Amino acid sequence: MKKTRRKILLKGWILSIFIVLLLLVLVYDLLAVYYRWGFSVNTWINGIYCTGKTAEEVNAELVEQAVPPVVVISTDSGRDEVFPMNRIDLAQMGYRCDYLAALNEYLEQQNPFLWFQNITLHREHRIEPEITYDEDTFRQAFEQTCVRVYSERPSGDYVLRFSQGTGWECEDGLTHVIDMDRAFELVKERIAAGQYEINIDRLDCFYDIPFTETQKQTQEIWERLQAFLQCDLQYDMGDTVESPDRGWLSGFVTHSRREDLGMEYPVLDETGEFVLDQEAVERFVQSLADQYDTYGKERLFHSTRGDLVTVPAGGTYGTTLDQEQETAYLMEHLLSEELHDGIATRRIPAYLRQGFVRGQDDLGDTYIEVDMTDQHMYYYRDGVLILDTDVVTGNTGRRMGTPEGVNYIYYKQRNRTLRGPGYATPVKYWMAVKGHVGIHDSGWRSEYGGTIYQKNGSHGCINTPPDMAAKLYEMAEIGTPVILFY
């Protein structure tokens, strides 16, 4: 009895297990059939959750979220800067996209009976759409914005151009000539492949036109011009370096119109060398002088008292370039190998007059400052205030006021007698600044500064306390600038 009951229970369990397995297989098959017509479980495409959806449903969602791309055209040489409109927005070209073919292809490769493999996997896929746009409109935009840099060149010609400012340029319509039709087809291929940043120079759409003998000669002249324009002459102006740029160098080469060639052409001498334009060279040297000559010009000076002082012209201190000598140097050396050997040539220009330091600020940071309003003198060395003292300057009440200007110590002498109409005054320390005006000790004075100079000032010199004059005499070199102002 008990054995019979056990057999019945066992058969029941076996039957139940069989029914459960049968149901699982049935459910699995039903899901496989379900996924046969839609995407498998846990499938993501281009950020869209696709499980159970048809290709048409996913396509609609992908099309809705698609953003029309912008095609960016560039070149190796940066010529795209010539045309700032190097971006083509396909949204304005009737852009349409469709993912249906790619989605159906994915579905065909999907095995619906292996759907269980996706349960624990996040399956993210990327697909590219088929895109369409108005090709005629796109071609117009392509040519107007991108190929202009090539198409504007004179195809089939090799021409030299000269213009003030930019100088010599070459329009080469023989090498790297663009095949417009092929370029357009290759760009379309890149766009179809989902590439929207396209370098025209990397496309196989260029060819060369054979040179004629005349064009070969022009090319040789251009190569020689290029070598000349690489001249690396560096003028050491003290605190800066100046070099003739491409515009200046181009202007140094004399040129004239060659009607037989239809272009500007360098003039050559009987040896075949470029003929230099001396007037252009003189203008360059003059431009250096305009920037760096300081002699005979008024100056702006930051005084110790804190204001910006205009010191009038007329002093003895300053810098003057020797323009004649510099022009001669350039005319002799501009065509020489030493300026075209790839090594920078550093040159200090010739001067007719040179300041204590070189540069636009040739006062430097070592100078003597005489503030005649405050009746005070300062001596700075390397930017550090070394000495300052009250002084007495020229008697303005008797029209003997010390003259304003930027001068320099041009002479020093111990134990000199200063002479003038009605006086002979011995001093121990004499530092001549301009003519008979100088800085010296004045042992006969017991007071300095204030308004003494207005009624009891000097004959024009800077009267200085003896101990301060002795210190300044030992420290200040000949050539030290002396700035005198009210």
Number of domains making up the chain? 3
For the cut 70, the answer to whether the pLDDT of residue 193 exceeds it is yes
For the cut 70, the answer to whether the pLDDT of residue 83 exceeds it is no
Closest CA to 373 of 440, 449, 266: 449
Residue 106 within a domain: yes
Query: What is the signed CA dihedral for 99, 101, 105, 108, rounded to 10 degrees?
Result: 110
Q: Verify that 99 and 160 share a domain, yes or no.
A: yes
Task: Output the DSSP codes for 175-198.
Answer: SSEE-HHHHHHHHHHHHHTT--EE
Q: How far apart are CA 412 and CA 295, in angstroms?
A: 22
Q: Verify that 82 and 196 share a domain, yes or no.
A: yes
Residue 349 within a domain: no
Query: In 452-472, which positions are buried (b, 16+ CB within 10 angstroms) versus exposed (e)?
Result: bbeeebbbbbbbbbbebbebb
Q: Verify that 135 and 64 share a domain, yes or no.
A: yes
Closest CA to 184 of 233, 133, 224: 133
The span from the first CA to the last CA of the chain, in angstroms, equals 137
Q: How far apart are CA 58 and CA 103, in angstroms?
A: 8
Count of other CB atoms within 10 angstroms of residue 290: 9
Please give the helix or strand (H or E) that residue 265 lies within, else none. Answer: strand 263-266
Q: 75: which residues sit within 8 A by CB, 6+ positions away?
A: 149, 199, 200, 201
Give residue 84's pLDDT band: very low, low, confident or very high (50, 70, 90): very low
pLDDT in tens, 435-462: 999 999 999 999 999 999 999 999 999 9
Q: Verify that 75 and 105 share a domain, yes or no.
A: yes
Residue 292 within a domain: no
For the cut 70, the answer to whether the pLDDT of residue 354 exceeds it is yes
pLDDT in tens, 375-400: 999 999 999 999 999 999 999 999 99
List the domain range (segments joined by +) for residue 24: 1-29
pLDDT in tens, 197-208: 988 888 998 889
Q: How far apart are CA 392 and CA 371, in angstroms?
A: 10
Q: Verify that 1 and 148 share a domain, yes or no.
A: no
Closest CA to 102 of 119, 77, 127, 83: 127
For the cut 70, the answer to whether the pLDDT of residue 475 exceeds it is yes
Q: Are strands 384-390 and 376-381 parallel, antiparallel or unpaired?
A: antiparallel
Domain end point (choices 177, 210, 243): 210
Q: How far apart are CA 170 and CA 161, in angstroms?
A: 6
Q: How far apart are CA 200 and CA 437, in angstroms?
A: 73
Residue 337 within a domain: no
Q: How far apart are CA 274 and CA 221, in angstroms?
A: 10
Considering only residues 130 and 283, tell me which one the structure prediction assigns the higher pLDDT.
283
For the cut 90, the answer to whether the pLDDT of residue 260 exceeds it is no
Q: pLDDT value at position 313?
A: 93
CATH of the domain at 472: 2.40.440.10
Q: Verify that 18 and 47 share a domain, yes or no.
A: no
Contact assessment for residue 219 and residue 171, using Cβ atoms and an 8 Å cutoff: no
Q: pLDDT value at position 437?
A: 97
Backbone angles phi and psi of 309, in degrees to 5:
-100, 140
Q: Verify that 16 and 133 share a domain, yes or no.
A: no
Residue 236 within a domain: no
What are the residue ranges of helices labelled H in 230-305?
246-252, 278-292
* Tokens encoding 400: 């003997």
